Structures are given as C-alpha cells and as structure tokens.
C-alpha cells in the first residue's frame, strides 16, 4: 500500500559465531545508527531476528547482514507496515537463537527436508501425511493449519519431552511448521534423531506460506512477536478459530489483561473488552494494578529511561577524529 513506508523483516541464520558478544555490539551499533528497531538474538550458533524500519533502512540492514560471508544465505521474510513494529532495538547474546535445549543439534548438519510453500500445499492433505505444529499453545490456539496436530506446550523447550507421544506416527510423513521456520530446523532434526524417517519442514514458515501461497487452509490468525501481535495469513478461505477468553464467542482479538500483575495474553472480544475494562476477569477488573483501558488491550512496556546507546560510550579515534567510534563501557 502507498502509505506503508516501513518494512518488517523476519529472519534467522544458523552459522558459527566465534565471539557472539563482540558481534552483538557491532550489530547493535549498526541498528541504532540506521534506525532499525526490533529484537535480535546473537549466539555461537547464529542469528535470529525480527526488525522494522523504513524501506531504505531495511534494505541497508539486509545488505549489511548478507555482506558477512557467515550470513550470506540468510533469507528474509518481508512484510510492509505503516510504521515501526517495535518501540526500540534490543540485541542480546544468548546460548541459543531459539531456546530448545537441543544444543547438540546443528541444523546445518542434520535437519528435515525443506518444503517450499507450493510443495507443502501439495503434500499436506495426502493420507500418509501428518502436519505437526511445533509452536507454543497460545500461538496455535489463535491460528493453525487445518487438521494440524497441535502439542500442549507452553514453550518450545518443552517440545523434546512431547515427542514420545508421537511414536505412533513414525511410519507417516511428518510435516513440521512454525511462524518463520526457525523452530522447525531443530524440531525436525530432533525427530530424525529419535528415529523418525520421513520428516519435512515448511521453509519460511507460516509467514512465507501466506506471502507466496495465499495462506490457504491456515485457520485463524498467525501470532507474531512484534507490536502487531496477530496478522492475517489466509487470503483464500479465512476463518476465525480462537474464542473470547471471557464469553467464548469467536474472536481473534488478542489483548493483554489490563491488570499488570496478571498481564495474560488471550483473545477477548470487543464487547467483553469494554465491559471488563480490558481485564480478563472480575477479579482483575477490580485489581488496584489495573491499567486504564483504551480499547486496544496493548500496553507499551515501561522503557525505564531506555537509551539505545546504553552499554557504550563515545571515544574519539585519535587517528580518525571524525567520525566518532563507539566502544563497550565494560571493556
């Protein structure tokens, strides 16, 4: 659309990073100097991020990532938006780029066969196929593929313990999917590790399937980890599958409970939203920590004096007094 001057980029790349903390600092500085906002994880096993920015800033960011030989094959899922999808930039160094507890698995060495959206669409309804959602329960309750097997897990790190419940599917073709593809890299590899023979993954996840295959047979909305919270995927046969947490009517309107001590993230219809003043129950409605409700159910986190340069200090480069160089205050 003409007024959508921003882009939202979703990506990951499994690649060895010898000094994640040093690269985190470099990456952080590039983002703040190019007005990129979002959440990025840097690990010894690679990168994982969702960021937003003006189209030209995002193009510069993608070029920056791909200019590094370690990340040159990174694939970006690109969506348009009318503004930033994040309030700030947050780049962190962590043990894994998605928390799974499967540190022994390297998707560059072993993982399920990648299926492009068109191939996934052609294969998903065959009799010998099982479609497996590897996301958390709050995600797949909002939206999922028709006939998909959905696991009762609060976090992806719970996935390995649930695999024993899938033993009866060992003779099936198992098609895994998630939001952008990253969880499937290790989920499908772990299935292979546990003796499953025919394992696939939806390359690029739900997001790419919506962009390239129209999202057919994805029921409901897709939960995303930015300020949009939930997005439409299916342009062909859309449905609503989630229910209002309070009254049980069909609703895909995701909100946070107005009681900051509860803050549960659930679907609440517009009518119940106003009746309960953004709270999820009478108890939360009367709670002293209930926040004012403006009809959105979205509450910006307190930035606590957020400064994107926190952790760095300016130090003039004696050899090159201009421009300024940034160095870690901890070094």
The conformation of residue 243, written as its DSSP 8-state character, comes to: B
Buried residues in 106-138 as b, exposed as e (16+ CB within 10 A): bbeeebbebbebebbbebbeeeebbbbbbbbeb
Residue 180 has pLDDT above 90, yes or no: yes
> According to the model, what pLDDT value does residue 4 have?
83
Binning pLDDT at 50, 70 and 90, where does residue 310 land? Answer: low
Binning pLDDT at 50, 70 and 90, where does residue 101 land? Answer: confident
Closest CA to 36 of 53, 50, 24: 53
Residue 201 has pLDDT above 90, yes or no: yes
SS3 (DSSP) at 86: coil
Domain ranges within the chain, ordered by starting residue: 6-93, 113-223, 243-299
* Rg, C-alpha atoms of the chain: 21
Binning pLDDT at 50, 70 and 90, where does residue 325 land? Answer: very low
Residue 177 and residue 183: Cα distance in Å, rounded? 8
Per residue in 26-35, pLDDT tens? 999 999 999 9
215: left (phi over 0), alpha (psi -120 to 50) or beta: left
Per residue in 216-267, pLDDT tens? 999 999 999 998 989 999 999 999 999 999 999 999 999 999 999 999 989 9
Give the Å distances, CA to CA, from 252 to 70, 227, 270, 280: 39, 15, 10, 15
Binning pLDDT at 50, 70 and 90, where does residue 312 land? Answer: low
Token pair of 81, please? 């938006």
DSSP per position, 94-157: -S-SS--S-TT--TTTS-PEEE-HHHHHHHTTSTTEEEEE-S-HHHHTTEEETT-EE---SSGG
Residue 221 and residue 242: Cα distance in Å, rounded? 9
Residue 227 and residue 78: Cα distance in Å, rounded? 16
Give the global pTM: 0.88
Residue 198 and residue 193: Cα distance in Å, rounded? 12
Instruction: Check if the beta carbon of residue 241 is closer than 8 Å to that of residue 233.
Output: no
158 CB neighbour count, 10 Å cutoff? 15
Instruction: Check if the beta carbon of residue 12 is closer than 8 Å to that of residue 1.
Output: no
Report the percentage of the chain scoring pLDDT > 70.
90
Residue 115 and residue 121: Cα distance in Å, rounded? 9
Residue 244 and residue 270: Cα distance in Å, rounded? 9
The alpha-helical segments, DSSP class H, found in the chain are: 20-33, 55-66, 117-123, 137-140, 159-162, 182-193, 205-213, 270-275, 282-285
Residue 240 and residue 163: Cα distance in Å, rounded? 28
Pairing of strands 149-150, 143-145: unpaired
Binning pLDDT at 50, 70 and 90, where does residue 306 land? Answer: low
Question: Looking at domain 6-93, does it have CATH number 3.40.50.880?
Answer: no
Question: Looking at domain 113-223, does it have CATH number 3.40.250.10?
Answer: yes
Residue 60 has pLDDT above 90, yes or no: yes
Token pair of 93, please? 């160094």
User: Catalytic residue numbers?
Assistant: 178
Q: Which residue has the higher pLDDT, 312 or 139?
A: 139
């Amino acid at each position: 659309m003409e007024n959508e001057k921003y882009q939202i980029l979703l990506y990951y790349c499994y690649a060895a990073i010898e000094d994640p903390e040093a690269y985190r600092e470099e990456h952080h500085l590039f983002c703040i100097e190019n007005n990129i906002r979002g959440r990025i994880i840097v690990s010894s096993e690679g990168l994982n991020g969702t960021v937003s920015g003006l189209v030209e800033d995002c193009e510069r960011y993608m070029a920056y990532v791909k200019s590094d030989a370690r990340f040159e094959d990174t694939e970006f899922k690109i969506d348009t938006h009318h503004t930033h999808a994040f309030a700030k930039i947050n780049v962190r160094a962590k043990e894994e780029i998605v928390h799974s507890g499967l540190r022994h698995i390297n998707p560059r060495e072993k993982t399920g066969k990648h299926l492009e959206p068109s191939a996934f669409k052609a294969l998903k309804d065959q009799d010998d196929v099982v479609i497996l959602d590897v996301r958390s329960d709050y995600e797949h309750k909002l939206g999922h593929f028709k006939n998909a097997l959905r696991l009762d897990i609060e976090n992806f790190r719970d996935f390995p313990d649930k695999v024993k419940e899938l033993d009866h599917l060992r003779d099936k073709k198992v098609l895994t999917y998630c939001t952008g593809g990253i969880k499937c890299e290790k989920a499908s590899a772990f299935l292979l590790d546990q003796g499953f023979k025919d394992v696939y993954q939806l390359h690029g996840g739900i997001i790419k399937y919506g962009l390239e295959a129209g999202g057919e047979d994805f029921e409901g909305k897709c939960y995303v980890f930015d300020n949009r919270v939930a997005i439409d995927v299916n342009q062909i046969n859309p449905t609503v599958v989630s229910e209002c947490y309070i009254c049980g009517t069909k609703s895909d309107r995701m909100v946070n409970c107005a009681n900051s001590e509860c803050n549960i993230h659930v679907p609440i219809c517009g009518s119940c939203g106003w009746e309960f003043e953004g709270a999820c129950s009478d108890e939360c409605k009367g709670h002293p920590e209930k926040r004012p409700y403006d009809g959105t159910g979205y509450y910006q986190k307190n930035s606590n004096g957020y400064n994107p340069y926190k952790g760095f200090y300016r130090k003039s480069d004696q050899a090159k007094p201009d421009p300024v160089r940034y160095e870690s205050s901890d070094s």
